[in-house]
Amino acid sequence: MELFTNQILAGIATGAIYACMALAVVMIYQAIDHLNFAQGEMAMFSTFISWQLMQWGVPYWGAFVITLVFSFVGGIAIERILFKPLAKAPVLTNVAGFIALFAIINSSAGLIWDFTIKQYPTPFGSAPFLGSQLISTHQAGMIGVTVLLLIGLYFFFQYTRIGLAMRAAASLPESARLVGINTSWMIALGWGMAAAIGSIAGMLIAPVVFLEPNMMGGVLIYGFAAAVLGGLSSPFGAVVGGFLVGIFENLAGTYIPGVGNELKLPIALALIISVLVVKPAGLFGRHIVKRV
Amino acid sequence: MSAAEEVVAEGHEAVEAVPKRAMTLGTGTSVVVLLLLLAVPLFAKNFIIFQLTQLLYLGLAVLALNILTGGSGQFSLGQSAFYAIGAYVTAVLMEQFNVNYALCLPIAGVVCFGAGFLFGQPALRLSGVYLALATFALATAMPQLLKLNFLEHWTGGVQGLVVTKPDAPFGLPMSQDMWLYYFTLVVTLAIYLFSVNLLRSRSGRAFMAIRDNEIAASAMGVNVALYKTLAFGVSAGITGVAGGLSAIAVQFVAPDSFTITLAIQLFLGMVVGGVGWLPGSIVGAAFIIFVPNLAEGISKGLSGAVFGVLLFLVIYLVPHGARQVAIIGQQLAGKLRKN
């Protein structure tokens, strides 16, 4: 039993990473209605920027804020320059564009900062949290930040004019335009916010997985899975999904014999798919009604 | 969630509707392309012939995805898994059971058809992003499954299997590479003709009806579940044959050659070639074989970035892929004829 509770705790700790990333995924899905495959690479690039700033002597929180602003502006710029011209192109062409963006960012980061693994500092320290060997203060801090982000997003979408406008633009673009919402800029804003949330995720994850250009590959897959499991339309679902995926993965690794590190991912994905087969819109997602 | 929060999606289709006549080439163009494909190896070096063989079997794999996505409107990131099954079935039959290579391919096709058809069953409940995630899971699981211990006796585990290249039969004066090229060409042509006819048939029309509007299709009496799984099966079967051909041509199979990267490449090939335009598959295959090499040639350190930029250029200029080029060409030809 103790092993079981310990594994769940460890699962929640890794789940916090996925929850962070899943929030960014949901953010962009709300704005543009599909998944951005380059999301993880954008987050990785932001994290490198903050690392570089710290190398130049900027204190942690200063670098944190500058990176946040940089990512927000960068996300908007990517949308305006690269994806606005593709707004009328087929969806699959847009997906190809995400893959191209992925290749560009990954390869440029590799050239600028090379592929060696770098240490990344944490503002929370890495002592055991409340005497538990499984959760460090950093991981507890990460869970805290994720929950704060979620609350912030909830208030933003429910109680601000611009949050309302973004929701309107995402769910019924034509009607939103008729009441005077600039839907095109709402999409850009969505990109900016997703990039900023992604950069927070990146800066929180980097102390755990270490900083290198490929650090986000695995994390993004789990983030997608978490977002899909929770229901792509719900930030709350994304966070719950993130924790569930973390717990799934840990329990599968511990209790199913013959599952090494490599089979953990397929098993976690298989579990998620079985959930989806029963609940196709995810655990907390809205059911979409189709009209002929 | 309350009913008031339900969202209504109107006519928002992920895959655009391509009419079936627009899916193929005219007779004249077909003959020219065929003559080129027949003649080029006679004047090329062995390495180039090998690359052309590669072009054909990857084109076949892209074509398979095109039938699934462009034809029936289902998206898949799991094609690399069926490709791997096809390659392994061929390699294991050839090396462990001494089956003739020409016989291995249909067996690989049938096995993959079965696998695809079965996988299509749970996938019926999923669409769009959810289907993408499910197929993605299949693609990430496949290399790990091939490494499993109890299969190692046949699959050779992580090391993989070496496959012997067949000689030209009947004492034909041809190099192994050239024989394999013509063999692949014949298989590819046969499958291309089969696919064109399939899409023109009753089943093909059912696929397209499902792609354009699932509800309307089922109202007209199309058995949606059957045709969706059938599309998965056919696509997987063709991918399996392509995988088998690749095993023979590369002379080697190993779990790590069939990762998710391969599935992404096939997807890019489909987009570049034009979703729903079957002849575009070969153009798409050319893109995924040659453009990474080209990018490497332009800049070694930044090859990924150069590849990304080139891909962006292509989708900016022709968002509908090679199909768009073909349509523009046709219009130009039409104008010239009038003058």
B65-95, pLDDT tens digit by residue? 999 988 888 888 889 999 999 999 998 888 8
Considering only CB atoms, which chain B residues are within 8 Å of A277? 122, 125-126
- The answer to whether the Cβ–Cβ distance between A269 and B308 falls below 8 Å is no
Instruction: Tell whether the model's pLDDT for residue B274 goes beyond 60.
Output: yes
Lowest-confidence range among A77-81, A140-144, A255-259, B287-291?
Answer: A255-259
Q: What is the mean pLDDT of chain B?
A: 82
Q: Which residue has the higher pLDDT, B51 or B24?
A: B51
**B299 C-beta neighbours (distance < 10 Å), count:** 13
Lowest-confidence range among A213-217, B85-89, B270-274?
Answer: A213-217
Is the CB of residue B184 less than 8 Å from the CB of residue B246?
no
Query: In angstroms, rounded to a whole number, what is the distance separating the alpha carbons of residues B142 and B137?
Result: 9
- The answer to whether the Cβ–Cβ distance between A99 and B311 falls below 8 Å is yes
Q: Which residue of A has its CA nearest to B121?
A: A277
Query: In angstroms, rounded to a whole number, what is the distance separating the alpha carbons of residues A131 and A285?
Result: 37
Considering only CB atoms, which chain B residues are within 8 Å of A224? 133
Q: Which of A93, A286, A292 sits opposite B215 (nearest CB)?
A: A292
Instruction: Tell whether the model's pLDDT for residue B240 goes beyond 90.
Output: yes
- Amino acid identity, residue A132? S
Considering only CB atoms, which chain A residues are within 8 Å of B140? 221, 265-266, 269
- Interface probe, candidates A25, A32, A84, A93, chain B, greatest B C-beta count within 10 A: A93
Q: What is the CA radius of gyration of chain B?
A: 21
Question: Which of A282, A277, A193 is closest to A229 using CA atoms?
Answer: A282
Q: Work out the average pLDDT over A137-153.
A: 86
How many domains does chain A fold into?
Answer: 1
Q: Is B36 an 8 Å CB contact of chain A? A: no
Query: In angstroms, rounded to a whole number, what is the distance separating the alpha carbons of residues A162 and A77?
Result: 19
User: C-alpha angle B155/B157/B161, rounded to 5°?
Assistant: 50
Residues 260-289 of B with CB under 8 A from A: 264, 267-268, 270-272, 275
- The answer to whether the Cβ–Cβ distance between B308 and A286 falls below 8 Å is no
Query: In angstroms, rounded to a whole number, what is the distance separating the alpha carbons of residues A192 and B219?
Result: 43
Reported as half-sphere exposure (CB side, CA atoms, 13 A), residue A154 has a value of 12
Share of chain B above pLDDT 90, in %: 14
Q: Which residue has the higher pLDDT, A232 or B183?
A: B183
Question: Which of B231, B237, B239 is closest to B263 using CA atoms?
Answer: B239
Instruction: Tell whether the model's pLDDT for residue B7 goes beyond 70.
Output: no
How many A-B residue pairs are in contact by the CB < 8 A criterion? 155
Q: Which residue has the higher pLDDT, B223 or B12?
A: B223
Share of chain A above pLDDT 70, in %: 93
Predicted local distance difference test score (pLDDT) of residue B11: 38
CA distance A89 to chain B (A): 6
Considering the domain boundaries, does residue A292 fall inside one? no
Instruction: Tell whether the model's pLDDT for residue A259 goes beyond 70.
Output: no
H or E element in which residue B219 lies: helix B214-219
Q: Is B303 an 8 Å CB contact of chain A? A: yes
Instruction: Tell whether the model's pLDDT for residue B148 goes beyond 80.
Output: no
Q: Is B22 an 8 Å CB contact of chain A? A: no
Q: What is the mean pLDDT of chain A?
A: 83
Q: Which residue of A has its CA nearest to B75?
A: A92
Predicted local distance difference test score (pLDDT) of residue B222: 87
Query: In angstroms, rounded to a whole number, what is the distance separating the alpha carbons of residues B249 and A211?
Result: 39
Query: Residues A1-26: pLDDT tens digits?
Result: 677 777 888 888 888 888 888 888 88
Query: In angstroms, rounded to a whole number, what is the distance separating the alpha carbons of residues B217 and A248?
Result: 39
The pLDDT confidence band at residue A287, using thresholds 50, 70 and 90, is: low
The pLDDT confidence band at residue B234, using thresholds 50, 70 and 90, is: very high
SS3 sequence of chain A:
CHHHHHHHHHHHHHHHHHHHHHHHHHHHHHHHCCCCCCHHHHHHHHHHHHHHHHHCCCCHHHHHHHHHHHHHHHHHHHHHHHHHHHCCCCHHHHHHHHHHHHHHHHHHHHHHHCCCCECCCCCCCCCEECCEEEEEHHHHHHHHHHHHHHHHHHHHHHHCHHHHHHHHHHHCHHHHHHCCCCHHHHHHHHHHHHHHHHHHHHHHHHHHHCECCCCHHHHHHHHHHHHHHHCCCCHHHHHHHHHHHHHHHHHHHHHCCCCCHHHHHHHHHHHHHHHHHHCCCCCCCCCEEEEC
CA distance A216 to chain B (A): 16
Q: Helix, strand, coil proportions of chain B in percent (round to 5)?
A: 75, 0, 20
Considering the domain boundaries, does residue A100 fall inside one? yes
- The answer to whether the Cβ–Cβ distance between B304 and A280 falls below 8 Å is no
Question: What is the CATH classification number for the domain harbouring A138?
Answer: 1.10.3470
Is the CB of residue A53 less than 8 Å from the CB of residue A62?
yes
The residues with which A290 forms a beta bridge, in sequence order, are: B9
- The answer to whether the Cβ–Cβ distance between A288 and B7 falls below 8 Å is yes
The residues with which B252 forms a beta bridge, in sequence order, are: B162
Task: ipTM value, please give it.
Answer: 0.82
Predicted local distance difference test score (pLDDT) of residue B65: 92
Considering the domain boundaries, does residue A8 fall inside one? yes
**B187 C-beta neighbours (distance < 10 Å), count:** 21
The pLDDT confidence band at residue B146, using thresholds 50, 70 and 90, is: confident
CA distance B13 to chain A (A): 9
Q: Is B323 an 8 Å CB contact of chain A? A: no
Tokens of A132: 């538990």
Predicted local distance difference test score (pLDDT) of residue B3: 35
- With both helix axes pointing from N to C terminus, report the angle between A261-278 and A235-255 in degrees, rounded to the nearest 10: 130
Predicted local distance difference test score (pLDDT) of residue A28: 82
Is the CB of residue B7 less than 8 Å from the CB of residue A289?
yes
CA distance A284 to chain B (A): 8
Query: In angstroms, rounded to a whole number, what is the distance separating the alpha carbons of residues A25 and A228?
Result: 9
Q: Could you tell me the residue range of the domain that residue A83 belongs to? A: 2-113+120-278
Share of chain B above pLDDT 70, in %: 92
Q: Work out the average pLDDT over A204-214.
A: 85
Distances (CA, A) of A255 to A61, A248, A267, B130, B162: 41, 11, 12, 27, 36
Query: Residues B102-145: pLDDT tens digits?
Result: 888 899 999 999 999 988 887 787 777 778 878 888 888 888 78
Tokens of A57: 């002597």
Query: In angstroms, rounded to a whole number, what is the distance separating the alpha carbons of residues A211 and A209?
Result: 7
Considering the domain boundaries, does residue A154 fall inside one? yes
The pLDDT confidence band at residue A67, using thresholds 50, 70 and 90, is: very high
Considering the domain boundaries, does residue A290 fall inside one? no
Query: In angstroms, rounded to a whole number, what is the distance separating the alpha carbons of residues B320 and B271?
Result: 7
The residues with which A288 forms a beta bridge, in sequence order, are: B7
- B/e letters for A51-68, b = 16+ CB within 10 Å, e = fewer, are bebbeeebeeeebbeebb
Q: Which residue of B has its CA nearest to A226?
A: B133
Predicted local distance difference test score (pLDDT) of residue A68: 93
Query: Which burial class, exposed, middle or buried, applies to A124 when counting CB atoms under 10 A from its CB (0-12, 13-18, 19+)?
Result: middle
H or E element in which residue B182 lies: helix B176-200
- The answer to whether the Cβ–Cβ distance between A100 and B308 falls below 8 Å is yes
Considering the domain boundaries, does residue A209 fall inside one? yes
Considering the domain boundaries, does residue A231 fall inside one? yes
Q: Is B183 an 8 Å CB contact of chain A? A: no
Torsion of CA A221, A226, A227, A228, to 10 degrees: 90
Considering the domain boundaries, does residue A287 fall inside one? no
